[in-house]
C-alpha cells in the first residue's frame, strides 16, 4: 500500500486501507454490502489526521483557494446531465421520421 501524504498519518492510513480492501473484496464485489460502514471510523480518523497535517503545512489554504477558484466548474461538472437543445431537436427529428404509428 502507498504511504500517506503526511508520514505521521501512515499508520492510520494503513489500517484504513487494510479495512477497505477487505470490505471491498469480501463484501462489495460479492454484492453483500454497498455501504462501507465498518471502515468509517478509520476513514474519519485518517481524514482528521490529514486535515491537521495539511493545516500545519499551510496546504489547507491552497485547497480552499483552489476550491473557490473552481466553484463554477464544480457546479457545471456535477450537475445532472440534461439534453442540449440540439440533441432534443435531433431526437424529435428521428421520432418524426421513424416513430411507430
85 lies in some domain: yes
How many whole angstroms separate alpha carbon 9 and alpha carbon 43? 11
Residue 101 exposure: Cα atoms within 13 Å on the Cβ side: 0
46 lies in some domain: yes
> What total number of domains does the chain contain?
1
Tell me the per-residue pLDDT of 2-28, one tens digit each, with 9 for 90 and over.
899 899 999 999 999 999 999 999 999
The pLDDT assigned to 88 comes to 55
Residue 35 has pLDDT above 90, yes or no: no
Cβ neighbours around 42 below 10 Å, total: 19
2 lies in some domain: no
How many whole angstroms separate alpha carbon 90 and alpha carbon 26? 46
Q: What is the DSSP letter of 1?
A: -
1 lies in some domain: no
**Which range of residues forms the domain containing residue 20?**
7-98
Amino acid at each position: 500500500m502507498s504511504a500517506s501524504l503526511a508520514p505521521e498519518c501512515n499508520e492510520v492510513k494503513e489500517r484504513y486501507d487494510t479495512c477497505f480492501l477487505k470490505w471491498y473484496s469480501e463484501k462489495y464485489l460479492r454484492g453483500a454490502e454497498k455501504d462501507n460502514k465498518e471502515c468509517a471510523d478509520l476513514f474519519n480518523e485518517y481524514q482528521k489526521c490529514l486535515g491537521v497535517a495539511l493545516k500545519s503545512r499551510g496546504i489547507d489554504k491552497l485547497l480552499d483557494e483552489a476550491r473557490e477558484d473552481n466553484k463554477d466548474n464544480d457546479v457545471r461538472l456535477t450537475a445532472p446531465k440534461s439534453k442540449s437543445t440540439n440533441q432534443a431537436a435531433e431526437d424529435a427529428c428521428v421520432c418524426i421520421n421513424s416513430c411507430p404509428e
